[in-house]
Structure 1
Amino acid sequence: MAKTLLAQKFPPLTPTFGRYLPQFFPLEDMVKLLKGLADTKSLKQGKTVHAQLVVRDQSSKDSDIFRINSLINLYVKCSQIQLAQKLFDRMHKRNAVSWSALMTGYLHRGDKLEVLGLFKAFISLENSYPNEYIFTTVLSCYSDSGRVEEGKQCHGYLFKSGLLFHQYVKNALIHMYSRCFHVELAMDILDAVPGYDICSYNSILNGLVESGYTKEAEVVLARMMQQSVAWDNVTYVTVFGFCSHNRNLRLGLKIHAQLLKFDMKFDVFVSSTMIDMYGKCGEVHNARKIFDVLQNPNVVAWTAVMTAYVQNGHFEETLNLFRIMDRKDVAPNECTFSVLLNACAGLALLSHGDTLHARVQKAGFKNHLTVTNALINMYSKTGNIDSAYNVFSNMMYRDSITWNAMICGYSHHGLGRQALKVFEDMIYSGEQPNNITFVGVLSACAHLGLVKEGFYYMNHLMKKFESEPGLEHYTCMVALLSKVNLLEEAENFMKTTQVKWDVVAWRTLLNACHVHRNYGLGKRIAEHVIQMDPRDVGTYTLLSNMHAKARRWDEVANIRKLMRERNIKKEPGASWLGIKNETHVFLSEVSNHPESSQIFRKVQQLLAMIKPLGYVPDTAAVLHDVEDEQKEGYLSYHSEKLAIAYGIMKIPPPAPIRVIKNLRMCDDCHNAVKLIAKVTNRLIIVRDANRFHHFQDGYCTCTDHW
């Protein structure tokens, strides 16, 4: 019956390979042949052999076990687990190898419950004796699924059977305890069972690193360096990964020196981990040195060095490296694209980001989660929030990073309603919000002035989702109270909340005092901030501007004198925008652009157009000891006005004009750009040091609070 069923499933095949099989092929040679076909994953030829075996009907029971075990192994290695299971089910007699082969197949497919079910069925049989291969497979399942209590029972069986002293089994048990955060038990096995080897140490070290046992990991490392156990590449990858995670440059340099001392030949994965370690520790030059000595670096190494540059803010160099990588015909992977998109986000280069997006689609990575998340981040930070949402809405899969990127993106653009709508969708989808989510949500409430809702989200919803409020959340609440001019309440909130406030939080309240012209409270807050950080130039600038608006010129002079004494200089205003593949940079009151004269004329033309709409230059914060005409001249040529004028000259409607500014927009520029957007019928998007401003029809999304 079994022969008939198998013959139906595998009819005799007649390719050249099948025709030349000998009529009486010895069993031992047949098993070797099947093993070779399994190792090379030659499924088609393996089926041919299977079909020939069915036709010849070699029905000896002893030969059945070896032959069918070899066939199960073939189908397992060729990812045909269902065929392997059918063969297993039809066996008249099975041994430990039969069970082990099938369990290994399910383990490789990720079906841990199937593996454990097979194991329980096997040990329930009479006279069943699991071998070392079965135990290593089962321990891997316990390790991956965190079933440490069942692992402990397995440990007891191993101790009684003597298999604990088998090297593979010992390493699997150590790995299981390490992955399940029972590092002490893993160390006990390492100390109690003789025969140290580097695999055991690697398992222990991985467990310590993943569990966050920093001090214990350093103890193990010291022990490994003292003993004569030879390290392998896996060890170096783990150790450099540990140094990377903990930003431990001193230890990383020591291990690097050890590599050089013993003249170790290490592979590209070790090099990539070293590059990552130096990048995370802020040593970009060392990362580049490691990369430059590599012969024919692969995409992993290229991505590692570009990541190092992005992490340290060298976005332009990242894109330059990619151009070199392209010329060398190294194909980028999904991680490469993510890094490059983050570089574009850092530089706010929308045109480069659009080009990368097209390449992502062409390369077939448009549904990779890391890439789509990076696309949302890139579009949000380059001012194209609509394209960010377009990517978001077309995604097949989303994780918490996806939702957070969209919520925070909308909040950063001042689109609070949209942010809260995405948050509602996130909850409805069943995704668990985290601390980052609630920063975006509370920021949206602050933009909208939703005091009651903001406190509800922080005091009730965060607790419901087991998210502990931190400094950023409390700072959002300060911004929320400040938005609706509850400045005294905001100050009282800061004084009564048990949190260590930083300069950013106090400056949030100070900025609100400037917006709402509460100069008495503003002066008190500014003095407190200056005590916390005597070199915070933004605080001096805000305080000076507040005194100027109140026409307290003596106080303005005192602030500027104090800045000179402390050698604190205000950063010059700079703005830039991208047109096609070029970035144009503008400095306030500086004619550094080749078309400066035309740009200056365009600025004057735009200012003349908006004066009938009620525009009056806000000269309050300009030096009081110059003529009014000169004050207006200072304001006219602020960098964002120059950039916007150039954008109107060069970017045809209805395309929006996107400008990036290094400092906070001044009141005069903000008022002027609202009206320029109206008279030119253009959407103008400005990202300043605080937030995005979307100017259209005489309004701004910040509602004049920034």
Structure 2
Amino acid sequence: MPPPPPFASMDAFYLHLLRSCAALPHVAAVHAHIARAHPAASLFLRNSLLSAYCRLGGPFPAARLLDEMPRRNSVSFNLLIDAYSRAGLADRSLGTFERARAAGVKADRFTFAAALAACSRAGDVRTGKAVHALAVLDGLAKGMLVSNSLISMYARCCEMDEARRVFDAADEHDDVSWNSLLSGYVRAGAHQEMLKVFTLMCRCGMGWNSFALGSIIKCCSSGVDIAGHIAEAVHGCVVKTGLATDVFLASALIDMYAKKGALSNAVVLFKSVQDPNVIVFNAMIAGFCRDEAAVGKEVTREALNLYSELLSRGMEPTEFTFSSVVRACNLAGEFEFGKQLHGQVLKHSLQGDDYIGSALIDLYSNSGCTEDGYRCFRSLYKQDIVTWTSMISGFVQNELFEKALRLFQELLCYGLKPDLFTISSVMNACASLAVARTGEQIQCLATKSGFNRFTVMGNSCVHMYARSGDVDAATLRFKEMESRDVVSWSAVISSHAQHGCARDALCIFNEMMDAKVVPNEITFLGVLTACSHGGLVDEGLRYYEIMNKEYGLAPTIKHCTCVVDLLGRAGRLGDAEAFIRDSVFHDDPVIWRSLLASCRIHGDMERGQLAADRIMELEPTTSASYVILYNMYLDAGELSLASKTRDLMKERGVKKEPGLSWIELKSGVHSFVAGDKSHPESNAIYEKLSEMLSKIEKLGSTGNASTESTGISGREQNLVGCHSEKLAVAFGMIHLPQSAPVRVMKNLRVCRECHSTMKLISRSENREIILRDAIRFHHFRGGACSCGDYW
């Protein structure tokens, strides 16, 4: 081994050794040699040793050395202050700063810079101001190093007024001064001030670093209203400073253009990157699925092609890659591709990632595979509120409302705090199940959490109360809302329409017009439903014309079906048929089924048969059409045709959906089917039902005239006598106080016999009965129904 080079002094020799140390044990060895050979080493050598400990061992061995040093100066303390600060130990760093002052060591600009860095990392603006005051007293506050540290500290603590005062008072500025101020404004969300500083920097010819430019690009990418030319100017600055090849800035620019809707610019920029890495690919993939409604499914599918290219280049996809591509599959409807991606996720052991898990839950929920989505949910290592909300929303979306409520209850048991979207989804589940008591409890939770003031929460409450049969509570909640949007107005209009309050619904629509709220398709659907249920033919036709001509809203199948229902119920069956034939939806079975129902009401056998033939041609396996046709034949006394219809159902394997009714009480939700005897209180229910029917007979009517001479078998007549809604009403009569209305929900349309019976029960029992069937609400009071026997 050649001899070591000659050194001018002992300090230089040891300094060479310390700089060559690559690990803490090496530093300790040099330290031991110095202690044995040179116990009176110079302060310079001891500070060099202290620096090596800070570099390789962290602040704690350095602190032990500082305690042993016979002499210390500002450099000694500066090294330890900075070491503690870099280690994230801000309290110890500032404690060392105070210790230095107590020891009488005069602080220099580096001391203040290190102390301010500690305050910055800790977000301790109070201590930072104290250090600032000491720097002013020592006459160092206006120097570039200290002033830059002060600007950075105040900017990180979002004290931008103080940062600007320091900046303006500084003796001179460099790139760090400007970039620190600029980044601070971005962090504080003061975008207009950021633009002013950015403009001043351009005028002064100051340079930018990648961090500052990245901050500006992030600001331009946000939802704030920043003109496109500003974004392009920032891009120009990136090119001018020679940072166009920086992949970090390239990915930020691609993201910025995608969020601003300039997807073509993002694509051009992506193609111009000579050697893109996975981060650049991620930015472009996310850009393709940024706004599916704006770019369309074909463009969204480009994200999938880009993912294939990423793999072909031999790159390893990241968590962000998978979450973005799975979302792209979701938006483009490429569910099979998404399932294959799930396999790749498992291969890379990323199934526990929150973002990927949420995207997979949404994918499986949208494809109707909720069980697979639930398995993804359970496989997550950490289930945060976002993933819980995704799973709950998936259950609601697929009409698994009971599962959604059970999962929400489990969420609360784990001590998690639901957010606004979680509660809104659960309220929708309550609305669909019409469980008002559960909905009220969730509304109380929303109020306690401070969510009740949000418009989306108010909308969910209005919808829930309306669907649960309490239109008064829905209206009250609507009036209590601080701010209302088109969804709010549409919900309250639809609620009145469903409850048969047609004139009230139209009055609310006029109030909406006075409030200058622009209606949408849902609003007009509620208005047309109100006109249909209220028999307001001329008004309904006028609103249909207004929707198209004044607001440019294209009618959907639901709007057209409402018009057919409106004309058909009024007896204008010829006009209804002509409307269907002229409509773009003349091949949709739903609109013909509406005509068939009207033909049954008015006994138009010939036109009803034509409508039925058309429905059977378009949709031969739906039971609702056969049931309407069967009942039409029964009403007309055509028993042989009714029997043929039933035989045709059996021949084609068409099964009628079983009727189900339910009622919510304090003890929970109780459901019934026709002839049900499985309920624990079955004997009491049938006894109460028999008692109520006996009272009806004393009034001179049995309420079952529609079953007479119809050819229905004895077993079927017995089932009609104990249809599910009758059992639910009897159960409600047993347990609810006299003053409370009996609210019952049913999944099918109420039959004529039950409708007549409910009117008579409401009269004989002097009780209000609210029955929701598949079409509308029926409010039975004093022997009459709110629908006017028009449903």
**Contact 2:569/2:601 (8 A) holds in 1:** no
**Contact 2:155/2:181 (8 A) holds in 1:** yes
1:702 paired with 2:782, answer no
Flag structure 1 segments of 5+ consecutive residues without an equivalent: 1-14
Deviation digits for residues 213-246 of structure 1 (CA, Å, limit 9, x no counterpart): 2231221121122223332222222122222333
**Contact 1:146/1:180 (8 A) holds in 2:** no
Flag structure 2 segments of 5+ consecutive residues without an equivalent: 1-93, 293-298
**Contact 2:152/2:181 (8 A) holds in 1:** yes
Distance of 2:589 and 2:511 partners within structure 1: 34
Aligned to 2:253: 173
Cα offset, 1:651, TM superposition: 0.8
Aligned to 2:132: 50
Aligned to 1:661: 746
1:200 paired with 2:300, answer no
Distance of 1:416 and 1:77 partners within structure 2: 58
SS of the residue corresponding to residue 210 of structure 1 reads coil
SS of the residue corresponding to residue 163 of structure 1 reads coil
1:673 paired with 2:758, answer yes
AA aligned to 1:573 is: G
Distance of 1:150 and 1:621 partners within structure 2: 76
Please point out which of 60, 70, 78 is paired with 2:149: 70
Distance of 1:151 and 1:414 partners within structure 2: 54
**Contact 2:524/2:547 (8 A) holds in 1:** no
Distance of 1:414 and 1:108 partners within structure 2: 54
Distance of 1:70 and 1:463 partners within structure 2: 64
Distance of 2:309 and 2:468 partners within structure 1: 50
SS of the residue corresponding to residue 527 of structure 1 reads helix
**Contact 1:337/1:360 (8 A) holds in 2:** yes
**Contact 2:486/2:517 (8 A) holds in 1:** yes
Distance of 2:356 and 2:111 partners within structure 1: 41
**Contact 2:361/2:374 (8 A) holds in 1:** yes
Measured on the aligned residues, the alpha-carbon RMSD in Å equals: 2.9
1:518 paired with 2:604, answer yes
Aligned to 2:677: 591
Distance of 2:475 and 2:550 partners within structure 1: 28
Distance of 2:190 and 2:568 partners within structure 1: 54
1:477 paired with 2:556, answer no
**Contact 1:351/1:581 (8 A) holds in 2:** no
1:490 paired with 2:569, answer no
Please point out which of 465, 470, 476 is paired with 1:390: 476
**Contact 2:675/2:724 (8 A) holds in 1:** yes
Output aligned runs, 1:181-260, within 5 Å: 181-212=261-292, 213-260=299-346
Cα offset, 1:71, TM superposition: 2.9
SS of the residue corresponding to residue 655 of structure 2 reads coil
Cα offset, 1:186, TM superposition: 1.8
Deviation digits for residues 27-73 of structure 1 (CA, Å, limit 9, x no counterpart): 2342333233223322222222233333434254xx2x443343333
Q: Relative to structure 1, is the Cα distance of residues 634 and 281 closer, same or farther in structure 2, using a 3 angstrom cutoff?
A: closer
**Contact 2:135/2:141 (8 A) holds in 1:** no
Distance of 1:584 and 1:569 partners within structure 2: 25
Q: Relative to structure 1, is the Cα distance of residues 334 and 541 closer, same or farther in structure 2, using a 3 angstrom cutoff?
A: same
Aligned to 1:8: none
Cα offset, 1:120, TM superposition: 2.7
Output aligned runs, 1:54-453, within 5 Å: 54-58=136-140, 60=142, 63=143, 65-91=144-170, 93-123=172-202, 125-144=203-222, 145=225, 147-212=227-292, 213-264=299-350, 266-453=352-539
**Contact 1:681/1:697 (8 A) holds in 2:** yes
Distance of 2:601 and 2:312 partners within structure 1: 63
Q: When the two structures are superposed, what TM-score results if normalisation uses the length of structure 1?
A: 0.89
AA aligned to 1:201 is: F
AA aligned to 2:626 is: Y
AA aligned to 2:268 is: D
AA aligned to 1:654 is: S
Q: Which moved more, 1:463-472 or 1:612-621?
A: 612-621
Q: Which moved more, 1:664-673 or 1:496-505?
A: 496-505
Please point out which of 640, 652, 662 is paired with 1:554: 640
Q: Relative to structure 1, is the Cα distance of residues 497 and 308 closer, same or farther in structure 2, using a 3 angstrom cutoff?
A: closer
Identity rate, percent: 31
Q: Relative to structure 1, is the Cα distance of residues 622 and 194 closer, same or farther in structure 2, using a 3 angstrom cutoff?
A: farther
Distance of 1:483 and 1:110 partners within structure 2: 58
Cα offset, 1:463, TM superposition: 4.4
Aligned to 2:21: none
Cα offset, 1:621, TM superposition: 5.4
Distance of 2:410 and 2:552 partners within structure 1: 47
Deviation digits for residues 515-554 of structure 1 (CA, Å, limit 9, x no counterpart): 2333332222122111111112111111111111111122
Distance of 1:93 and 1:566 partners within structure 2: 89
Q: Which moved more, 1:175-184 or 1:614-623?
A: 614-623
Aligned to 1:26: 108
**Contact 2:532/2:566 (8 A) holds in 1:** yes
Q: Relative to structure 1, is the Cα distance of residues 126 and 73 closer, same or farther in structure 2, using a 3 angstrom cutoff?
A: closer
Cα offset, 1:640, TM superposition: 0.9
SS of the residue corresponding to residue 165 of structure 1 reads coil
Aligned to 1:457: 543
SS of the residue corresponding to residue 620 of structure 1 reads helix
Q: Relative to structure 1, is the Cα distance of residues 175 and 314 closer, same or farther in structure 2, using a 3 angstrom cutoff?
A: same
**Contact 1:478/1:490 (8 A) holds in 2:** yes
Aligned to 2:37: none
Q: Which moved more, 1:341-350 or 1:216-225?
A: 341-350
Deviation digits for residues 232-263 of structure 1 (CA, Å, limit 9, x no counterpart): 22222212222233343222222222222233
Q: Relative to structure 1, is the Cα distance of residues 75 and 392 closer, same or farther in structure 2, using a 3 angstrom cutoff?
A: farther
Deviation digits for residues 284-326 of structure 1 (CA, Å, limit 9, x no counterpart): 2222222323345333333333233222222222233333333
Deviation digits for residues 419-477 of structure 1 (CA, Å, limit 9, x no counterpart): 33443343444443322222222222322333333333333345444433222222222
1:40 paired with 2:122, answer yes
Cα offset, 1:209, TM superposition: 0.4
Aligned to 2:733: 648
**Contact 1:622/1:631 (8 A) holds in 2:** no
Q: Relative to structure 1, is the Cα distance of residues 483 and 25 closer, same or farther in structure 2, using a 3 angstrom cutoff?
A: farther
Q: Which moved more, 1:562-571 or 1:15-24?
A: 15-24
**Contact 1:545/1:621 (8 A) holds in 2:** no
Distance of 1:688 and 1:274 partners within structure 2: 35
**Contact 2:352/2:380 (8 A) holds in 1:** no
Distance of 1:294 and 1:510 partners within structure 2: 51
**Contact 2:109/2:140 (8 A) holds in 1:** no
Aligned to 2:58: none
Aligned to 2:48: none
**Contact 1:174/1:190 (8 A) holds in 2:** yes
Distance of 2:412 and 2:729 partners within structure 1: 34
Aligned to 1:582: 668
**Contact 2:401/2:429 (8 A) holds in 1:** yes
Cα offset, 1:119, TM superposition: 2.3
Distance of 2:700 and 2:185 partners within structure 1: 75
Distance of 2:287 and 2:99 partners within structure 1: 52
Q: Relative to structure 1, is the Cα distance of residues 99 and 542 closer, same or farther in structure 2, using a 3 angstrom cutoff?
A: same
**Contact 2:706/2:752 (8 A) holds in 1:** no
Aligned to 2:9: none
Deviation digits for residues 394-436 of structure 1 (CA, Å, limit 9, x no counterpart): 2233333333333323323333333334433434444433222
Deviation digits for residues 566-592 of structure 1 (CA, Å, limit 9, x no counterpart): 122323322111111322222213333
Q: Which moved more, 1:331-340 or 1:543-552?
A: 331-340
**Contact 1:588/1:638 (8 A) holds in 2:** yes
AA aligned to 2:371 is: H
Please point out which of 594, 601, 624 is paired with 2:687: 601
User: How many aligned residue pairs are there?
Assistant: 687
**Contact 1:248/1:281 (8 A) holds in 2:** no
